[in-house]
Homo-oligomer: A and B are copies of this chain.
Amino acid sequence: MAILRRIVELAGGTDGNIAVVATASGAPLDPALRYRSLFLDLGIGQASCLPISSRIQAYDPGVVERIRKSTGVFFTGGDQLRITSILGGTPVHKALLERRMEGALVAGTSAGASAMSDIMIVGGPEEEAPKKCTTKLAPGMGLLHDSVIDQHFAQRGRIGRLLSAIAQNPGITGIGIDEDTAIEVGPDLCFTVLGSQTVTVIDGRNIEITNASERAPDSPLALTDVTLHILPKGYGYDLKTGKPLAPKGD
């Protein structure tokens, strides 16, 4: 709840106007109404549900106008491929990128978080040793560059699939977000951790050995000299420099 409260605050509080986008869900009405009501309970000025379940709706000038007027856009969970396959390249997508540049809040939970980066994880084995290329990647919404976000991270044993994603391009930063945990990314590309659990950052820039480009995609991954950071609430990370940040005041 602390995370949703922060979303309301960042979206302008009583002066704010949050648009809830439940495109990730095959049955979007329930989650859309639930988050709308949560945001209103937490004191947002206005909250509405945007009906975007098809590419036709993502071209609707009325919907685009509502995004342009919102101070915050919130993506619910579900299937991240629904988000990108329905919104990718549409006027709604363009409006989102513009609003983000203008300083509006763009937030998401679960699939809604995964879809934020320019590369996203679509699926992959959990609780398994990392394999070379079994983690399925796809282009994301491009709201956060040079990153790949995974979620339900510790709870679903997903470090193997994030390591596999990073092995394919060690210059990309892997961000594994636990349940009830969030990152708040500022315009300076520094993020701060919110919530009760931790964020795992995987920095592959010093990788010396990897077999990721070799044959046999489902054979076990070799990967050395990965730098790993575990960051709980208050800690942060500078995505530009790759440096973890201690809580302010420490």
Contact = CB atoms under 8 A, between A and B. Distances in A.
A232 B226 contact: no
A231 to B, nearest CB: 6
B224 A229 contact: yes
Given A219-B232, A229-B225, A230-B221, A127 B209 contact: no
Interface in A109-134: 127-130
Interface string A216-250: 00011111111111111101000000001010000
Contacts of A150: none
Q: What's the dominant secondary structure at chain A's contact region?
A: loop
**For the complex formed by this chain, how many copies does it contain in all?**
2
A127 B178 CA distance: 10
Contacts of A224: 229-231, 244
A230 B223 contact: yes
A155 interface: yes
A227 B45 CA distance: 46
Given A157-B127, A220-B233, A225 B208 contact: no
Q: Which of A153, A208, A225, A232: most chain B Cβ within 10 A?
A: A232
